[in-house]
Amino acid sequence: MEIAILYSTYINSASQIKNTAEAYFAQNKTHHSASILPITSGGRGFIDAMEAMPGTKTTRATTIARDRHSNPIETSYLISHDGKTACIECAKICGYDPGDNYCNPATTFTHGIGDVILDALSRNCRNFIIGIDGLATIDAGMGMLNALGYKMHNEAGNELQLYRGSEMLRVHSVTDSRNTALLKRCRFTIAHNDNAAFYAATGPAALYARQLGANEVTADILDNGLRNMASVYFHHNGRDVSYITAGGAGGAIAGAFASFFNAKLRPATSVLPGTAQISKAMNNANAIIIISHSITPTTISSPAFASLMATAKKSNAPIYHITTHIQNAPMLEAMDVRNITPTDDPATELVKLLDHIVPKLADE
């Protein structure tokens, strides 16, 4: 009998959940076994999931980067065992914090993402896996590009003084960086959890600006700014980001990566090195337990969760959910997401659930 336990590294107690599950099955190993694997949406906990995936060998590198308010912070990212690949979690650098009273997607910065990329380049990394979920910014990657050496100019030809969302409408042209040739030789894979378009009704300004601290007027300014940036990027790079699936992910930073560096935009669940392990574990499972930070109609329709559920349902095994936040349970049931247990203590609830389902599976 095999049980697949998939736990989100977004949860603060993720390591406790993993240790609890391992201890439980160590004590009951003669009767059943389990695959205990991390999952991620590409946001907070992204590099933790990379580290926790069995068989993955990485080291942590630390550097100084600018946060969402452009203040210097110490942050970390992963470097692969061969030293060629850097794995960066953008939420660690300029992620959204609901407790930040000064957070506004029009006045926050993505420079820190570029700072970390430069640090990785200096360590000879040429492949990049970058998780962009959970950002506090909507700036079409302006700050990130500026940190990498790109300069943006207004119609009069003067360089912008500030590189943030509120300035997008003023951009008229882009000057390449001295790092452009090197960056174009690098390989970028962007892990997202959002199929937002670059602008308009399904763009990040319309969908998320208010959640991130903007008012109606600011949201409209940001959307018009994104329309302008799409035109600027097209004239500079010859690629229309408005047609790129998920180009609006991460406050449209995904479109910038695709436009300037030909990045591949992929759902976060397909980016983990152990994607095949997760699929195999679910296919072979007699029961599947998914432990996540939040289950809402929005999260379950996101690319990461939808992909995970599609694979889980193919196994025909019963699926159980443990979550620290649930919203609109009737709609979730209508969307065929059932057996949900909300709790403030996922590790303890996991033991209770295992005590409940393991005997039932043994009797079948």
Tokens standing for residue 195: 């199929």
- Give pLDDT, residue 31: 66
- Give pLDDT, residue 364: 63
- Give pLDDT, residue 160: 97
Lowest-confidence segment of 19-33, 272-286, 289-303 by average pLDDT: 19-33
User: pLDDT band at 228, cuts 50/70/90?
Assistant: very high
DSSP 236-281: HHS--GGGSTTTTHHHHHHHHHHHHH-PEEEEGGGTSTTHHHHHHH
Q: Over the chain, what is the mean pLDDT?
A: 93
- Give pLDDT, residue 28: 75
CA dist 333 and 13 (Å) reads: 27
Cα–Cα distances in Å, from 305 out to 50, 148, 196, 292?
17, 32, 15, 10
Q: Inform me whether the pLDDT recorded for 138 exceeds 60.
A: yes
Q: What is the mean pLDDT of residues 34-41?
A: 91
Of 129, 104, 117, the C-alpha closest to 65 is 117
Q: In this predicted model, what pLDDT tens digit does every residue of 149-207 receive, in sequence order?
A: 999 999 999 999 999 999 999 999 999 999 999 999 999 999 999 999 999 999 999 99
CA dist 126 and 128 (Å) reads: 7
Identify any residues that bridge with 292 across adjacent strands, giving them in sequence order: 323
CA dist 217 and 106 (Å) reads: 11
Q: Inform me whether the pLDDT recorded for 362 exceeds 70.
A: no
User: pLDDT band at 123, cuts 50/70/90?
Assistant: very high
CA dist 307 and 337 (Å) reads: 13
SS percent in the chain: helix, strand, coil, step 5: 40, 20, 40
User: pLDDT band at 146, cuts 50/70/90?
Assistant: very high
**Contact assessment for residue 168 and residue 109, using Cβ atoms and an 8 Å cutoff:** no
- Give pLDDT, residue 98: 87
Q: What is the mean pLDDT of residues 208-234?
A: 97
Q: Inform me whether the pLDDT recorded for 58 exceeds 80.
A: yes
Q: Inform me whether the pLDDT recorded for 214 exceeds 80.
A: yes
Tokens standing for residue 140: 């079409």
Residue 210 CB-density burial (10 A; 0-12 exposed, 13-18 middle, 19+ buried): middle
CA dist 193 and 266 (Å) reads: 8
Q: What is the mean pLDDT of residues 271-292?
A: 89
CA dist 353 and 289 (Å) reads: 9
CA dist 354 and 137 (Å) reads: 40
- Give pLDDT, residue 27: 84
Q: Which residue has the higher pLDDT, 26 or 189?
A: 189
Q: What is the mean pLDDT of residues 43-49?
A: 94
Q: Inform me whether the pLDDT recorded for 30 exceeds 70.
A: no
CA dist 175 and 150 (Å) reads: 6
**Contact assessment for residue 145 and residue 160, using Cβ atoms and an 8 Å cutoff:** no
- Helices of type H across the chain: 14-27, 46-52, 91-94, 111-122, 142-147, 180-185, 204-208, 216-237, 249-261, 275-283, 297-300, 303-314, 329-334, 346-363
Q: What is the mean pLDDT of residues 211-233?
A: 97
Q: Which residue has the higher pLDDT, 25 or 70?
A: 70
pTM (predicted TM-score): 0.93
CA dist 152 and 143 (Å) reads: 10
Q: What is the mean pLDDT of residues 319-339?
A: 89
